[in-house]
Amino acid sequence: MLSVNNTQYTVTRMKTPNTIPAPEIFPAEQDIPTKYQIHEFIEQREYLVNGELRQWEGPMNQVLSPVCIKTNEGFQQKVIGSSPLLTSKESLEALEAAKEAYNNGQGFWPTLKVKERIQYMEIFVDEMLKQRDEVIKLLMWEIGKTLADSAKEFDRTVTYIKDTIHALKELDRRSSKFEIESGVIAQIRRVPLGVTLCMGPYNYPLNETFTTLIPALIMGNTVVFKPAKYGVLLIRPLLEAFKNSFPKGVINIIYGRGRATVGALMETGKLDAFAFIGTNKGANDLKKMHPKPHKLRSVLGLDAKNPGIVLPDANMENAVAECVTGSLSYNGQRCTALKILFVHRSIVDEFLEKFTEAIDQLKAGMPWEEGVKLTPLPEPGKTDYLTDLVKDAEAYGAKVVNAENGGGEIHETYFHPAVLYPVTAEMKVYREEQFGPVVPVVAYDDVEEVVDYVVSSNFGQQASIFGRDSKKIAALVDELYHQVSRININAQCQRGPDVFPFNGRKDSAEGTLSVSDALRVFSIRTIVATKDKESNKEIIRSIVRDGDSSFLRTDYIL
Ligand code: G3H
């Protein structure tokens, strides 16, 4: 039984038998199913430059799993391997390899016909599919993502690549004709930008990285790719696939600390495009290092503080279910997660009761366990940061509503979801993106308070509205569509389906990603034009007929 009155908040919740106390989630080594065990320390010394898997003999970075192992000496975070800490020297070699392969657009890769680049990509997908099980296993161990979500991430990435191939064929078909306008004959095509740096986030180290890497490559750019901070070893099974599928220098993969590696790349001014999914601070710091800001095309997916807005007439069951998955799937570590819930004061008691009950039903455990939803966190110091947010909120009068059922409890790398109420503007969690299992709930009286929050936010990615009254929903949509890039009605925020545009305003993003938009982002429309005169037409006809140009052509991909 949980009771909330609007001025004085009290909790008289009984512990439910469904709750698994946090300390019990970590297994002994022998309790891990054999097929999910990491049998050997993964010492990765290879990195990919100029079509060669080079061996690194210098300092290594230890890769710690968020999974802890129960031993006689207590719980120990599992060390699963190590990866190279390259220096600026190796990253600059990667850049030179990419630059040479691009060769000012005259290289083998950028001048290939689209259908030939597609063939290379198809070879890569076939090779990638052979590594499915290994990549999924490493996703679980490195970032603590559940087996179901890890499999989804892999399969979604493969689908994304196939959809990209399909979209590129469409794009190329549309460019295969000449246009005649106001006495000018022209062919308009998208051509690559040049050398691209791709960096992805730890929460989707495969999928989100590949949503920029694959379109960049297939459009004819050459790439230096640096895997995310966590979720590094899972790229290793794909290194051979990259090496064997693409011509040398087209894709180069480096490892190490940001400033030493990518900082050095930026400072050269030789990068033409920068794809980064991470924090806006990280993106700002790197972008500023590039000496020619207008040369650098950036596509960025950054921070967000997406609000869930529960109107007084919302279908409670649906709102609770969507807010639980919206705020806590992958422990809230999604840029699209619902990071603050605004619930109308008239229904906040009922909402909190049902919301915390639903959280109690979420199974905490190891990523490979059946039905598990809550898992340990990969970022060092994250549990301390989340505790600090909770303590700060408590100092200003909030309570952990589900404290008696483990809310806010920590065990090693595991943090049990904490529902904070009543959250107010003085608290850090009101504005900061927690990117973890802390759910701030704010009671509002007038929906304009919520609109003001969104307008004054530094972020502008998405919002969710839960309600029934179409007129009220319409009014709110009309206030929000100038503030955020996607408004979800009676549904949590999310990126998919991947054919939909994914972007944001303010500090949340730069550029738009989707299967088809990404092809545009990594290319520039270029025109070859002539006056509509018979002599000019004959030149064009002759070039097309003899297949003399990779730009001027009318072949149609079937
Ligand atoms: O972390 C941000 C992701 O783009 C979110 O994607 O909504 O499919 O989880 P998702």
Residue 533 lies in a domain: no
Judged by average pLDDT, the poorest of 73-77, 467-471, 489-493 is 73-77
Confidence of residue 16 (pLDDT cuts 50, 70, 90): very low
Residue 539 in any domain: the answer is: no
For residue 88, the model assigns a pLDDT of 97
Q: What is the pLDDT of residues 446-488, one digit of tens each?
A: 999 999 999 999 999 999 999 999 999 999 999 999 999 999 9
CATH number of 56's domain: 3.40.605.10
* Residue 520 belongs to a domain: no
What is the pLDDT, as a whole number, of residue 81? 98
Whether 469 and 368 map to the same domain: the answer is yes
How far apart are the C-alpha atoms of 216 and 507, rounded to whole Å? 23
Ligand 1 atom index nearest CA of 493: 7
Q: Which amino acid is at 121?
A: M
Burial 252-288 (b: 16+ CB within 10 A, else e): bbbbbeeeebbebbbebebbbbbbbbbbbebbeebbe
- Supply the Cα-derived Rg of the chain in whole angstroms: 26
Whether the Cβ atoms of residue 301 and residue 509 lie closer than 8 Å to each other: yes
- Measured distance CA(196)–CA(225) in Å, rounded: 8
410 and 290 in a single domain? The answer is no
User: Which amino acid type is present at position 331?
Assistant: N
Q: Are strands 505-506 and 509-510 parallel, antiparallel or unpaired?
A: unpaired
d(CA 496, CA 469) in angstroms, rounded, equals 26
Examine residue 438 and state whether it is found in any structural domain, yes or no: yes
Do 94 and 152 belong to one domain? yes
Per the structure, the complete domain to which residue 317 belongs is given by 306-507
| Cα separations in angstroms, 112 against 108, 109, 124, 178 | 6, 5, 17, 20
Distance between CA atoms of residues 198 and 398, nearest Å: 41
Instruction: Kindly state whether residues 280 and 328 are assigned to the same domain.
Output: no
Are 339 and 255 members of one domain? no
Burial 24-45 (b: 16+ CB within 10 A, else e): ebbbeeeebeeeeebeeebebe
Please return the burial class of 528, using the count of CB atoms within 10 Å of its CB with bins 0-12, 13-18 and 19+: middle
Does residue 184 lie within any of the structural domains? Answer: yes
**C-alpha 499 to ligand 1 mean position (Å):** 13
- Give the nearest ligand 1 atom to 201 CA: 1
Distance 299 CA to ligand 1 centre (A): 16
Q: Is 229 in the pocket of ligand 1 (CB under 6 A)?
A: no
CATH code for the domain of 335: 3.40.309.10
- Does ligand 1 come within 6 angstroms of the Cβ of 335? yes
Same domain, 333 and 370: yes
Residue 3 has pLDDT above 90, yes or no: no
User: Is residue 255 predicted with pLDDT exceeding 90?
Assistant: yes
Distance (Å, rounded) from C-alpha 271 to C-alpha 295? 8
Indicate if 316 and 173 belong to the same structural domain.
no
Query: 153 CB less than 6 Å from ligand 1?
Result: no
Q: Is the pLDDT of residue 238 over 60?
A: yes
Lookup: tokens for 176: 């295969």
Most distant CA pair in the chain, distance: 89
Boundary residue ending a domain (285, 301, 317): 301
Identify the band that residue 1 occupies on the pLDDT scale cut at 50, 70 and 90. Answer: very low
Does residue 51 fall inside a structural domain? Answer: yes
Q: Pick the closest to residue 223 from 189, 200, 205, 190 (CA basis).
A: 200
Please give the pLDDT value at position 558. 82
Same domain, residue pair 418 and 494: yes
Please indicate, yes or no, whether residues 228 and 340 belong to a single structural domain of this protein: no
pLDDT in tens, 393-433: 999 999 999 999 999 999 999 999 999 999 999 999 999 99
In 3D space, the residue among 98, 125, 111 whose CA is nearest the CA of residue 220 turns out to be 111
Nearest residue by C-alpha to atom 6 in ligand 1: 495
- Confidence class for position 184, pLDDT limits 50, 70, 90: very high
- Tell me how far the alpha carbon of residue 40 lies from the centroid of ligand 1, in angstroms: 32
Please tell me the predicted confidence (pLDDT) of residue 173: 94
| Separation of CA 498 and ligand 1 centre (Å) | 10
Which class for 294: exposed (0-12), middle (13-18), buried (19 or more C-beta within 10 A)?
Answer: exposed
Are 297 and 319 found together in one domain?
Answer: no
The string of pLDDT tens digits covering residues 130-155 is 999 999 999 999 999 999 999 999 99
Q: Would you say residue 214 lies in a domain?
A: yes
pTM (2 decimals)?
0.94
Compute, in angstroms, the gap from residue 207 CA to the centroid of ligand 1. Answer: 9
Joined together, the tokens standing for residue 19 give: 């709750």
Determine which of 22-26, 371-375, 383-387, 419-423 has the lowest per-residue pLDDT on average. 22-26
Q: Of 462, 478, 507, which residue sits at a domain end?
A: 507
% pLDDT > 90, the chain: 94
pLDDT band at residue 9 using 50, 70 and 90 as cut-offs: very low
pLDDT digits (tens, 9 = 90+) for 284-334: 999 999 999 999 999 999 999 999 999 999 999 999 999 999 999 999 999
Out of 249, 279, 301, pick the residue that ends a domain. 301
Instruction: For residue 496, give the ligand 1 atom closest to its CA.
Output: 8
Look up residue 206 and give its two tokens.
């495969």
pLDDT class of 557 with cuts at 50, 70, 90:
confident
Task: Quote the strand ranges of 338-397, DSSP E.
Answer: 338-344, 363-364, 372-374
**Do 182 and 263 belong to one domain?**
yes
Residue 211 has pLDDT above 50, yes or no: yes
Please state, in angstroms and as integers, the Cα–Cα distance from residue 33 to each residue in 27, 145, 282, 366, 369, following that order: 10, 16, 38, 11, 9
Q: How many helices (H) and strands (E) does the chain have?
A: 18, 27
**Residue 464 parent element (H or E):** strand 462-466
pLDDT category of residue 24 using cuts at 50, 70 and 90: confident
400 and 432 together in one domain: yes
Number of domains in the chain: 2
Look at 121 and 21; give whichever has higher pLDDT: 121
**181, 185, 187, 193 alpha-carbon torsion, rounded to 10°:** -90
Helical axes 236-245 vs 114-129, angle rounded to 10°: 150
Residue 46 within a domain: yes
